[in-house]
Structure 1
Amino acid sequence: MPVDRETTENRRLSQALSTGPFSLALRLALKSSGLSLDRVQFRLRERDAAVSKTALSNWQSGRTQPERPDSLRALAVLEDIVGVPAGSLSSLLGPPRPRGRWLAQNPGEMRADQAWARPDGLARALERMGTSIDAINRVAKIATHLTGTVDAERRMRTMRHQMVVRAERDGIDRYTGAYRSDVGDCLDITDTIGCRPGRRRQDAETGFTTYELLLDQPARAGELVSVGYTIYTNGEERYHSQRLGRASQIYTVQIQFETGTLPVRVYRTYLPSIGDTSHEDVEVPLGASCTAQHTVVDPVPGIYRLGWDWE
């Protein structure tokens, strides 16, 4: 690559190794090494530190991170393979996340350390909005219908949300949500129905955006409210995840791809928590309208993901 571009890439890698997040630092380290995931996987296996290609892909995309002893040992070997200082990647992991279900006792509650990668960024973005994780737990998602579009440049452009939510206490006048991406930004929230946009804050370091939707009228405890809105983004996303609680009764997601720019594979995945790596990918067919979809009735609490591969 040209010298100026190489210098920029090296500077980005150095900065990421210093400040994180882990997924970005790993992605830049792999790119700098010039090694494909297949080659990295082969070299790890040669040194008795086998890691699946799926796990490596998940680590660099922020879907999961290494936590188990064998994964952490493999990470130490990986640092040597890609040519970064020993401990530079592992130091970005932070404390291990608790295992098991990420939901607490109430339907709307979630444990941020199990639901999200880099939950510190979620906490900071909410704090900048003058609130806390408790704001997310004041409503429970009963029904969720998502419709996303991916353009010819492989970028996620829109994600339309149609939801029925339930107030968990009296006087609820807003819905608080969160969006996270390592590869793009939440550009705008518009096309609202049953609500209007409120405050929005970001945590650039971790890719979090938190936002409020002000309800048309306050809701009493137990009252159901229907809201709709569209998030406009610009990221080259390779999956979309949704966190569902015990109150959820139906969940459906549809992703429509631009004709002529179709992924080679679409799959769905369920994770009990963000740190769980024992999940299985299930192939999802593309329909005649270039749309992949997944619907679940009475979903088990956890994280539901629809993903796609371009090569």
Structure 2
Amino acid sequence: MANTDTAFSKALRTSIARSGLSLDRLQARLRANGIPVSITALSYWQSGKRQPERQSSLSAVRVLEDVLGLRPGELLSLLPPPRPRGTNRPRTEPVNFPVEALRTLLERVGAPHALEQQHKLKLASLHDRCEIAADGGQRSTTARAVFQATADGQDRWLLVYDHGGTDTGPPRLHALRNCRAGRVEVDTEHGLTAAELLFDRTLERGETQLIEYTLTNGGPPYPPCSNTYYREFRRPVREYLLEISFDTAPERCWQYTRTDPEKGEERRDLHLDTTGGVHAVALDFGPGVFGIGWT
């Protein structure tokens, strides 16, 4: 396989050289933390021949950051999206939308290279609260997100939202805290919306920003949601809290995760609280899909 240097491989190679640790000693440190990684894999990572993609490999990178004296997320933030494997698109592939339609939409919103660019904002925490109406449709979703800048000059976040079908109109975007809506573009053919959320200030490297926004659907009847709500994370998130509130209590609820197409879906039953809702929490999760389903 040809050597293809990347920002990640360069940073890893430089950090290893600066530490004075051999690959054998790095492997021993990883093993001591319960993470077995071959010397060949470490060599490939620092040369650019391969990149960490699986959950176990991303956990190894987190430990490497600590061993090499780097800031949490300093190496992870340099990783490009995982490459698709095989001919079937798993749900954990980096883009869960029609790629060409998404590229066109991103061009219209002023971000034509968003899929290829390295993200300069790290998602540290995300809290979604989804309201399900009595007819079973999705009335609204309110999101509270905390970002940390990995480079100077960060002033916006790009939101891409799936309406749930081509027959469903776009939701109304309301910026609630520390941000405002910028350019908003809608693809009615594929049921997609792309929007800029402009921060109330420009972030420098290491600074954090908390924003809050709501997506509200028209109704009733409200857009159907197939008895599920999920987020697909292309990169690790430190904390994700998902709440679902119901006007009419469902018979059964469960949380589910998909991190490896070969392992399938993992489920755990949830119980309604006294307000008629459920919640689920994911810590140090991703890449993968995390959601709640109900009957």
TM-score using structure 1 length: 0.59
2:205 & 2:169 partners in 1: Cα distance?
Answer: 34
* SS class of match (2:107): helix
CA RMSD of aligned residues (A): 2.7
What is the match of residue 159 of structure 2? 177
User: What is the CA deviation profile of residues 249-305 of structure 1, one whole-angstrom value per residue up to 9, with x for unaligned ones?
Assistant: 1110101000xx2222222111126x6681133222222211011012222432211
Aligned pair partner of 2:202 in 173, 197, 218: 218
Distance 1:112 1:185, change over 3 A: farther
2:161 & 2:199 partners in 1: Cα distance?
Answer: 19
What is the match of residue 243 of structure 1? 232
Amino acid at match of 1:295: V
Q: What's the CA shift for 1:130?
A: 1.8
Q: What's the CA shift for 1:120?
A: 2.9
Q: What's the CA shift for 1:158?
A: 1.0
Unaligned 5+ segments in structure 1 are 1-99
What is the match of residue 295 of structure 1? 281
What is the match of residue 139 of structure 1? 121
What does 1:43-58 align with in structure 2 at a 5 Å threshold?
none
1:254 aligns with 2:262: no
What is the match of residue 282 of structure 1? 268
Identity of aligned residues (%): 23
Q: What's the CA shift for 1:182?
A: 2.7
1:129 aligns with 2:109: yes
Q: What's the CA shift for 1:308?
A: 2.0
Distance 1:210 1:282, change over 3 A: same
- Number of equivalenced pairs: 207
User: What is the CA deviation profile of residues 182-214 of structure 1, one whole-angstrom value per residue up to 9, with x for unaligned ones?
Assistant: 343432111420111111112223222111111
1:211 & 1:105 partners in 2: Cα distance?
Answer: 25
User: What is the CA deviation profile of residues 27-73 of structure 1, one whole-angstrom value per residue up to 9, with x for unaligned ones?
Assistant: xxxxxxxxxxxxxxxxxxxxxxxxxxxxxxxxxxxxxxxxxxxxxxx
What is the match of residue 227 of structure 1? 211
Q: What's the CA shift for 1:181?
A: 3.2
Q: Tell whether the 8 Å contact from 1:175 to 1:214 is kept in structure 2 after alignment.
A: yes
What is the match of residue 106 of structure 1? 77
1:168 aligns with 2:150: yes
1:118 & 1:249 partners in 2: Cα distance?
Answer: 28
Unaligned 5+ segments in structure 2 are 1-52, 59-74, 85-92
Distance 1:120 1:265, change over 3 A: farther
What does 1:197-208 align with in structure 2 at a 5 Å threshold?
197-208=181-192
1:247 & 1:170 partners in 2: Cα distance?
Answer: 21
More helix by percentage: 1
TM-score using structure 2 length: 0.62
What is the match of residue 195 of structure 1? 179
Distance 1:111 1:246, change over 3 A: closer
* SS class of match (1:106): helix
